[in-house]
């Protein structure tokens, strides 16, 4: 069995949070270590760490840092400090539900505690448990998805739903890794994914490092590649899947789904249960609009004239009718998703 990408994207180390600095990739593999929750919030906002599952764990660890640093002598005081940190962390990015899920999970442990000491320990323990769970969940999800893949397939993805979007192993790329581990030949077609280039910078980095066969394309070449019959399957991650089966994921996912449908190619989001949001339907989700700088500059170089207005939606929404099936750690969900999603979550 191949020894895939064993680095941890986010890890708890000696009471601090250690992360791969994803803004430095693919040029440089470097780590940052944070001892304060506002540093974690800034890292999420600036995409030092990104990817729905990874920011869920990072935010939980941010609350754990607040618990460590709090000088509170009494429980209500500690809880106020934790609620402050949680509010700050929740405000970083609106679309991926895992962020809220991660914070809610550690906060629930804190609320159940009966002493300051117990709350501190419970929060740190829960955050570390989430770190371990993430890799285990992705391996299960990967194994479930790998059964769909035939030997020799080319999988088109979008953005990075890999080890770097999670603690390790990945969701969409976890499926690819599991298929390769099971002895299948799989090739990955990687759109660069402007504006933040997570495909070119991160997915390409992971796959080259793991010696998984891959080809980088511009985002403009997705339709052309599908029209030439060069794609057998589309597998992407997800930032939020609502109870009515709508998939919110990195901008560009929706157009891949439309194009896949036109060419009769199956389209699968791959996501853990923590990405499913039973509390919301598709019209209740905020799509983050990010700054113009990401579009008018690439790695610091200006590519557009000064004064040009920009729209920079970071995510889009794929309706359930374009989804073939959804890959989760509990199995592969078939339509109708408004029935199979509540069953998954029960």
Q: Which of 239, 244, 283, 316 is catalytic?
A: 239
Q: DSSP letters along 240-251, please?
A: EEETT--EEEET
Omega of the bond leading into 267 within 30 degrees of 0 (cis)? no
Q: Binding string to a second copy for residues 305 to 334, with x set by CB under 8 A, is what?
A: x-xxxxxxx--xx-----------------
- Contact between 303 and a second copy per CB under 8 A: yes
Query: Is 284:222 a contact under the CB 8 Å cutoff?
Result: no
Collapsing DSSP states into helix, strand and coil, what is residue 219?
helix
Q: How far is the CB of 272 from a second copy (least distance, A)?
A: 24
218 binds a second copy (CB under 8 A): yes
14 labelled catalytic? no
Q: Is 266 in the site for a second copy (CB under 8 A)?
A: no
Place of tokens 């991650």: 237
Identified binder of a second copy from the candidate list 50, 177, 194, 268, rule CB under 8 A: 194
DSSP bridge partners of 318: 247
Confirm or reject binding of residue 210 to a second copy (CB under 8 A). no
Q: Which is nearer to a second copy, 26 or 331 (CB)?
A: 26
Which residues are 188's β-sheet partners?
Answer: 155, 214
Judged by CB under 8 A, which of 227, 279, 339, 345 binds a second copy?
227
Name residue, tokens 């790695």: 299
Sequence-separated (6 or more) residues with CB below 8 Å from residue 333: 325, 326, 327, 340, 341, 344
Q: Which residues of this protein are in contact with a second copy, per CB under 8 A?
A: 26-27, 191-195, 197, 200-201, 204-205, 208-209, 214-225, 227, 250-252, 254-255, 258-259, 262, 295-296, 298-305, 307-313, 316-317
Instruction: Please list the active-site residues.
Output: 239
């Amino acid at each position: 069995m191949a020894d895939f990408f064993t680095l941890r994207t986010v890890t708890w180390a000696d009471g601090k949070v250690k992360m791969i600095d994803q803004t430095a990739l693919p040029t440089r593999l470097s780590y940052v270590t944070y001892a304060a929750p506002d540093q974690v919030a800034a890292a999420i906002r600036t995409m030092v760490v990104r990817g729905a599952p990874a920011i869920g764990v990072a935010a939980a660890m941010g609350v754990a840092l607040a618990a460590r640093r709090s000088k509170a002598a009494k429980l209500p005081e500690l809880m106020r400090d934790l609620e402050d940190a949680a509010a700050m962390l929740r405000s970083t990015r609106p679309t991926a539900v895992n962020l809220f899920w991660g914070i809610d999970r550690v906060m629930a442990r804190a609320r159940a505690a009966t002493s300051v000491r117990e709350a501190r320990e419970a929060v740190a323990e829960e955050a570390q448990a989430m770190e371990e769970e993430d890799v285990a969940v992705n391996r299960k999800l990967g194994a479930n998805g790998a059964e769909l893949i035939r030997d020799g397939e080319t999988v088109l993805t979008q953005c990075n739903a890999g080890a770097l979007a999670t603690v390790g192993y990945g969701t969409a790329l976890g499926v690819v890794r599991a298929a390769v581990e099971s002895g299948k030949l799989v090739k990955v077609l990687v759109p660069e994914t402007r504006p933040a280039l997570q495909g070119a910078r991160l997915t390409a980095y992971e796959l080259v490092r793991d010696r998984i066969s891959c080809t980088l394309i511009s985002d403009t070449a997705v339709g052309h590649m599908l029209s030439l019959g060069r794609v057998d399957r589309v597998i992407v991650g997800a930032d939020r899947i609502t109870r009515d089966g709508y998939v919110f994921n990195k901008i560009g996912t929706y157009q891949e789904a439309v194009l896949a449908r036109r060419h009769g190619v199956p389209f699968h989001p791959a996501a853990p249960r923590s990405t499913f949001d039973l509390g919301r339907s598709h019209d209740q989700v905020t799509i983050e609009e990010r700054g113009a700088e990401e579009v008018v500059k690439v790695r610091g170089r200006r590519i557009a004239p000064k004064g040009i207005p920009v729209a920079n939606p970071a995510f889009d929404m794929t309706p359930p009718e374009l989804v073939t099936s959804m890959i989760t750690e509990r199995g592969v969900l078939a339509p109708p998703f408004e029935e199979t999603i509540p069953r998954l979550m029960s």
